[in-house]
């Protein structure tokens, strides 16, 4: 079938909402032979999301437009993970891609919230639907894992344990909903940069692998209150993120002073998550953190939420 143009879709387009992820537990092990770090993490999808829309295009090729976070700054060519995702679906189907992809972004770029991975997951699903391509779960997972370690989780949403380099998932049945204030900063941290800093700090004897996820998994499954969850949050990348962007320390400290139950760097940072008791507390906390300054933007989010393919 290679060389054929993608069949015209009956509908005008397909839109998929894909949530951001957080890692309430992020245990980072030693680098493996392939350069990736072994992970023992718990992912959770939160209510902040990007929308990926795929529409048929008259001429062959993948044309990307972007609005919202990162518009004008992010690549719209092969350098964009969503572009690679669309190409993979076309390759899998044996068709020539002809698609307009629009990314409406609310997830901060390079913020530790898997925004690029979310867009890739959205592009996989939207293109498969637009072109009417049946992709089985195992194959979709394989395509997603080839795009990036966080992409498989972005397809699933909810709460899940991540092992391997983060791509091996075991769902967790979380009972409840937890409220966060998401504070972004005006800096970015690239994921590999943060992993390298973790390695460097470890050479100096700073930090260790928090492999045990059992306590936080039990807390989610048991519907723990926010106070209990606050004591269980772990991020082995936090010291590295703060070392790379020292201004994070004052942002975190400020949120705690304003009454957050915990301050937690999201993934490789620099976004900081503040845990609130409930939605009312989150609204008040967000207002106080905004007034204090120091954050580029402050959002409310809750999790877990369902993923795009759920
Ligand atoms: O998997 P992904 O392409 O998102 O990873 C980006 C980079 O982050 C990798 O090239 C690697 O340097 C680093 N990484 C890592 N260990 C992981 C995941 C990512 O070292 N488990």
- Per residue in 58-107, pLDDT (tens digit) is 999 999 999 999 999 999 999 999 999 999 999 999 999 999 999 999 99
- Decide if pLDDT at 9 tops 80: no
Least confident of 5-9, 80-84, 210-214: 5-9
Distance from the CA of 29 to the center of ligand 1, in angstroms? 12
Identify which of 27, 32, 37, 119 to mutate to test ligand 1's pocket (most ligand atoms within 8 A of the CB).
37
Kindly state the average pLDDT of the residues 98-117. 96
Take atom 4 of ligand 1 and give the residue whose Cα is closest: 148
Burial of 192 (0-12, 13-18, 19+ CB in 10 A): exposed
Distance from the CA of 41 to the center of ligand 1, in angstroms? 14
- pTM for the whole structure: 0.94
Portions of the chain given CATH number 3.30.70.890: 178-303
CATH of 178-303, one of 3.40.50.1100, 3.30.70.890, 2.30.40.10, 3.40.830.10: 3.30.70.890
Look up 21 and say whether it is catalytic: yes
Ligand 1 pocket, Cβ-based, cut-off 6 angstroms: 35-37, 39, 148-150, 165-166, 191-192, 195
Task: Say what the pLDDT of residue 2 is.
Answer: 43
Given pLDDT bands bounded at 50, 70 and 90, which one contains residue 12? confident
Does 121 carry a binding-site annotation?
Answer: no
HEC profile of the chain: CCCCECCCCCCCCEEEEEEEEEEEEEEEEEECCCCCEEEEEEEEEEEEEEEEEEEECCCCEEEEEEEECCCCCCCCCCCCHHHHHHHHHHHHHCCECEEEEEEEECCCCCCCCCHHHHHHHHHHHHHHHHCCCCCCHHHHHHHHHHHCCCHHHHHHECEEEEECCCCEEEEECCCCCEEEEEEECCCCCCHHHHHHHHHHHHHCCCCCCCCCCHHHHHHHHCCCCHHHHHCCCEECCHHHHHHHCCHHHHHHHHHHHCCCCEEEECCCCCCEEEEECCHHHHHHHHHHHHHHCCCCEEEEEEECCECCCC
Please give the number of the atom of ligand 1 that sits closest to the Cα of 117.
4
Does 54 carry a binding-site annotation?
Answer: no
Identify which of 111, 165, 235 to mutate to test ligand 1's pocket (most ligand atoms within 8 A of the CB).
165
Take atom 19 of ligand 1 and give the residue whose Cα is closest: 36
pLDDT tens figures, 168-198: 999 999 999 999 999 999 999 999 999 999 9
Please give the number of the atom of ligand 1 that sits closest to the Cα of 116.
4
What is the topology classification, in CATH, of domain 14-171?
Answer: Ribosomal Protein S5; domain 2 (3.30.230)
Portions of the chain given CATH number 3.30.230.10: 14-171
Which of 105, 150, 156, 236 is the catalytic position?
150
Look up 204 and say whether it is catalytic: no
Given pLDDT bands bounded at 50, 70 and 90, which one contains residue 309? low
Does 68 carry a binding-site annotation?
Answer: no
Task: Say what the pLDDT of residue 241 is.
Answer: 97
Task: Say what the pLDDT of residue 1 is.
Answer: 40
How much is the mean pLDDT over the chain?
95
Take atom 12 of ligand 1 and give the residue whose Cα is closest: 192
Which of 21, 84, 105, 156 is the catalytic position?
21
Task: Say what the pLDDT of residue 4 is.
Answer: 58
Task: Say what the pLDDT of residue 5 is.
Answer: 57
- Decide if pLDDT at 245 tops 80: yes
Percent of the chain scoring above 90 in pLDDT? 95
């Amino acid at each position: 079938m290679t060389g054929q143009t993608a069949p015209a879709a009956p509908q005008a387009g397909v839109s998929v909402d894909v949530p951001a992820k957080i890692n309430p537990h992020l245990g980072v092990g030693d680098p493996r032979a392939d350069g990736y770090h072994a992970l023992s993490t718990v992912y959770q999808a939160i209510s902040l999301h990007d929308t990926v829309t795929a529409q048929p295009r008259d001429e062959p090729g993948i044309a990307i437009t972007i609005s919202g976070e990162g518009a004008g700054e992010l690549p719209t060519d092969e350098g964009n993970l969503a572009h690679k995702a669309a190409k993979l679906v076309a390759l899998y189907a044996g068709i020539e891609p002809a698609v307009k992809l629009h990314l409406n972004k609310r997830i901060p770029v390079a913020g530790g919230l898997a925004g690029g991975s979310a867009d890739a997951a959205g592009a996989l699903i939207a293109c498969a639907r637009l072109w009417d391509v049946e992709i089985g779960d195992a194959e979709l997972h394989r395509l997603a894992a080839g795009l990036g370690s966080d992409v498989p989780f972005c397809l699933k949403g909810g709460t899940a344990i991540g092992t391997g380099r983060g791509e091996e998932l075991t769902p967790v049945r979380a009972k409840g909903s937890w409220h966060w204030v998401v504070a972004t900063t005006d800096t970015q941290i690239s994921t590999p940069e943060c992993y390298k800093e973790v390695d460097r700090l470890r050479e100096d004897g700073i930090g260790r692998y928090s492999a045990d996820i059992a306590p936080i998994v039990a807390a989610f499954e048991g519907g723990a209150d926010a106070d209990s969850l606050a004591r269980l949050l772990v991020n082995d990348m936090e010291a590295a993120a703060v070392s790379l962007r020292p201004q994070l320390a004052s942002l975190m400290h400020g949120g705690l002073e304003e009454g957050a139950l915990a301050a937690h760097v999201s993934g490789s940072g620099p976004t900081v998550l503040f845990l609130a008791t409930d939605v009312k507390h989150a609204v008040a906390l967000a207002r106080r953190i905004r007034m204090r300054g120091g954050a580029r933007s402050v959002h409310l989010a809750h999790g877990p939420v369902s993923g795009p393919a759920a």
